[in-house]
Amino acid sequence: MSELKSNIPEGPLADKWTNHKNNIRLVNPANKRLIDVIVVGTGLAGGSAAATLAELGYNVKAFCFQDSPRRAHSIAAQGGINAAKNYQGDGDSVYRLFYDTIKGGDYRSREANVYRLAEVSANIIDQCVAQGVPFAREYGGLLDNRSFGGVQVSRTFYAKGQTGQQLLLGAYSAMSRQIGRGKIKMYNRHEMLDIVKIDGKARGIIARDLITGEIERHSAHAVVIATGGYGNVFFLSTNAMGSNVTAAWKVHKRGAHFANPCFTQIHPTCIPVSGDHQSKLTLMSESLRNDGRIWVPGKKEDAEAIRNGKLKPTDIKEEDRDYYLERRYPAFGNLVPRDVASRAAKERCDAGYGVNKTGEAVYLDFSSAIMRYGKEKAITEGLGNISESKIKELGKKVVEAKYGNLFQMYEKIVDQNPYETPMMIYPAVHYTMGGLWVDYNLMTTIPGCYAAGEANFSDHGANRLGASALMQGLADGYFVLPYTIGDYLADDIRTGPISTDLPEFEQVENEVKDRLNKLINNKGTHTVDYFHKKLGKIMWDKVGMARNERGLKEAIEEIKALRKEFWENVLVPGDLNEFNPELEKAGRVADFMELGELMALDALERNESCGGHFREESQSEEGEAMRKDDIYAYVSSWEFNGDASGFSLHKENLNFENVELKTRSYK
C-alpha cells in the first residue's frame, strides 16, 4: 500500500478550503443527470448529503435500515450545534472555534479539516433556519445561544433538548422534497452488507431488503458511507439498538483504512446501569452541566450509607460534599470536556465514593441553580423579599423551561424527581471519534468510496467537544462532500450506467449469501445477545475508560476466543428470506467481534494518553492524562490484510503549523 495522501490543499490555513473549491473540477448539470451516487445511512451526514447531491442533479439512491430516514440516531442528539456566528459578541470567531476543537481533540486531528469545519459552521445555521428548523429564540426574535463543555464562549445553537431531532428533521424534509421529485430513490428497511469494487473503484453495494430478506445489487458511480459510529461494540452505549459498524467494516475489509479505532468518547452524564437486563443507556444532555453541579460525598462512610439506603443525598451537608470537578479544575469547573469529566467520575467511584447500589454513580445537583434562578426571577418580577420556598418555586419553573423534557425523561426511567433530589449519573459510551480514514475530500482509500459524519475519523481527534458532532455531520453532508465528490465524478461523465450483472457483483453477492446462510444454519446453543453482552464486558473492562498493556493484550486474546465460539455456537432463528431481526443482529455482532480486536490493538499500539484514550502507563502524578507528541502525533490508519494476517498500521503524521501543541489544562 502506498503512502497515505491526505490531499490537504496548499496555502494559508484560512484560504485552503476556498482555494480548493476554486480549483477542483466540476460536473456540469447535464452530466450530473448521468451519474448515480449511493448514500448509505440517512442521519445528519447521510441525509444532508443525499438531499444536496440530489439538488445538484445527481441520481441518488439512499439506504437506511430503519423504516424512515427520520429515525437515524442523529435524532437523539440533545444539546446543540456549534457555530462561529459570534451572535453573543463574546469574542468568538472561526479561528477560536477551530482552536477550541483542535485543542479539545487533544491535537490528534488535521488542522486543515478542523479549520474548514469551523469555517462552514456558520453556513449550517443559515441553511437550517432557511429550512424551517425552529431553533430557540430570544424575545427579540433573534437566535439564542448557550455554552457547552470545554469552551469559554456561547456558540451553541439549540432547540430545547432536541436539537438533533430538529436538525435531522430539517435534513429529512430536504430529502423528502427530493424523494417527491424522484431525484432520491429511497430504500427504507434495507441494510448494506458489502461494497462492490470494479477495477479498484467503488461501484456499488450489496444490500438486504429487511422485509423480504432478498439480497439486492445496487450500482453507482460513487458510494458514500454515512452510517454513524460503532459504540455498540460495548453492548451498552447511548447509541440506538440498531447502530452498527457493518457498512464501515465491510468497506474496511475491502481495502479502506480504519483510522484511530480506539478513540471512543465516554460521555460523563448518562443514567447509570440499573441491572443485568439493561439493553441500552440513556444520555442526559451535557447542557445540564451548565447548571448542575457534580458531587460525591466527601466522606467514605457517607457514601456507604447512601449506597445502603441509610442516608439521602439531601441529608449530606454542604461542607461534607466533594464538588470534585470544581475542586480539581477551578477554571472550567463542571464544564470541563467530556473525557476529563468522565475520568474524574470514574476516579471517585473507584475510590469508593459512588452513590448508587452498584457504586457507579455520582450526583448532578440542581438545587443551587434552582435557588439562583429563583432569586433572579424574584428580582426581575419585582417581588421583593419572599420566602425561600417561593424562590425555589420560581427557580424550578426556570429550570423546567430549560430542561423540562430531560428531567421528565429522567423521572420516567429512574422513578425519582430530579427537582427534589439530585440526579444520578455515570459515564457511558457515547461517540466514536475513530472511523474510516478519509482524505481532505472525505474519500477513503478506496477510490469512489466516501465516508461522512461519525463514520469517518476526521475532525474530532482524540476527543469530541459537545455540540460538535451535529456540526460535523451537517458540514460534511451539506457543504463538503457535495463539492469534493464532483472532482472525482468528473471522470465518470462518459462511463454510463454500471451494470449489476458484472461478475464482481455476483461474487460479492455470493459471499454475502454464504455468510448469512452460515449464521442461519449454525443452529448453536447461545443467542446473539449472549455473545454481544460478553463482548461488551470485555470491551468495557479492558478497552474502556482506562486501558493498560496487560488488559489490552488479554482483551485481544479473549475477543479472538469469543469470536471463535460465536461462529461455532451462535443460534440464529428463522430464515434468510423473511423479516428476521435476529439475523440482522447476528451479522452486526459478527462484525463487532472483529472491530473489537482492532480497537484493542490500536489502543495497545498508542502508548500515550490523549483525549478519550487513557493509558494508565501515561499519566502524571496527579493522575492527569499525559500526551506524547514526539512519538504519537499521528493518525493510526489500519489496513486489513485478510483474515489470516490481520491488520497493518500506516501512520499519517499530523503537522501543526498554526497552533502550538500544549498540555490541555482546564485548571
Partner 1 sequence: MNLTLKIWRQKNTTSQGKMVEYKVNNISEDMSFLEMMDILNEELIVKGDDPIAFDHDCREGICGMCSLYINGEAHGPDRGITTCQLHMRKFKDGDTIYIEPWRAKAFPVIKDLVVDRTSFERIMASGGFISVNTSGNTQDANNIPIPKDDADEAFDAATCIGCGACVATCKNSSAMLFVSAKVSQLALLPQGKLERERRVLNMVDQMDKEGFGNCTNTGACEVECPKGISLSNIARMNREYLRASLVKKD
Catalytic residues: 338
- Residue 14 near partner 1 by CB under 8 A: no
Instruction: Closer to partner 1 by CB, 171 or 196: give it.
Output: 171
Span 116-145, contacts to partner 1 by CB under 8 A: 120, 123, 125-132, 134-143
C-alpha cell at 197: 469494487
Instruction: Closer to partner 1 by CB, 153 or 508: give it.
Output: 153
**Burial status of residue 382 (CB atoms within 10 A of its CB: 0-12, 13-18, 19 or more):** exposed
Query: From the CB of 290, what's the least distance to partner 1, in Å?
Result: 20
The DSSP bridge partners found for residue 205 are: 195, 218
Instruction: Closer to partner 1 by CB, 160 or 396: give it.
Output: 160
Q: Contacts by 369-375 with C-beta closer than 8 Å and gap 24+?
A: 369/291, 369/292, 369/293, 369/395, 369/399, 370/395, 370/396, 370/398, 370/399, 370/419, 371/395, 373/398, 373/399, 374/398
Only one of the segments 343-351, 404-412, 425-433, 615-623 lies at the binding site for partner 1 (rule: CB under 8 A); that segment is: 404-412
CA 210 to chain CA centroid, Å, is 25
Residues 6+ apart with CB under 8 A from 181: 54
Encoded one letter per residue, x for contact with partner 1 by CB under 8 A and - for no contact, window 315-354 reads ----------------------------------------
- Residue 409 near partner 1 by CB under 8 A: yes
- Residue 412 near partner 1 by CB under 8 A: yes
- Residue 417 near partner 1 by CB under 8 A: no
Encoded one letter per residue, x for contact with partner 1 by CB under 8 A and - for no contact, window 420-459 reads ----------------------------------------
Encoded one letter per residue, x for contact with partner 1 by CB under 8 A and - for no contact, window 164-183 reads -xx--x--xxx-xx-xx---
Judged by DSSP in three states, 317 sits in coil
Q: Let me know: does 443 contact 450? Beta carbons within 8 Å.
A: yes
Encoded one letter per residue, x for contact with partner 1 by CB under 8 A and - for no contact, window 62-101 reads ----xxx-xxxx-xx--------x-x--------------
Residues 6+ apart with CB under 8 A from 98: 111, 114, 115, 117, 118, 119
Q: Among 454, 452, 477, 476, which residue's Cα sits nearest to residue 464?
A: 454
Question: Residue 8 has what DSSP assignment?
Answer: P
Q: What is the H or E stretch that residue 219 is in?
A: strand 215-219
- Residue 502 near partner 1 by CB under 8 A: no
- Residue 355 near partner 1 by CB under 8 A: no
Separation CA 144–CA 154 (nearest Å): 9
- Residue 240 near partner 1 by CB under 8 A: yes
The DSSP bridge partners found for residue 648 are: 639
Query: From the CB of 585, what's the least distance to partner 1, in Å?
Result: 10
- Residue 419 near partner 1 by CB under 8 A: no
- Counting residues that bind partner 1 (by CB under 8 A) gives 82
The β-bridge relationship of strands 362-365 and 321-322 is unpaired
Encoded one letter per residue, x for contact with partner 1 by CB under 8 A and - for no contact, window 544-573 reads ---------------------------x-x
Instruction: Closer to partner 1 by CB, 73 or 348: give it.
Output: 73
Instruction: Closer to partner 1 by CB, 84 or 603: give it.
Output: 84
For 365, other C-beta atoms within 10 Å of its C-beta total 22
Query: From the CB of 205, what's the least distance to partner 1, in Å?
Result: 21
Cα angle at 229 between 228 and 235, to 5 degrees?
A: 130
Span 273-302, contacts to partner 1 by CB under 8 A: 274-275, 277-280, 282-283
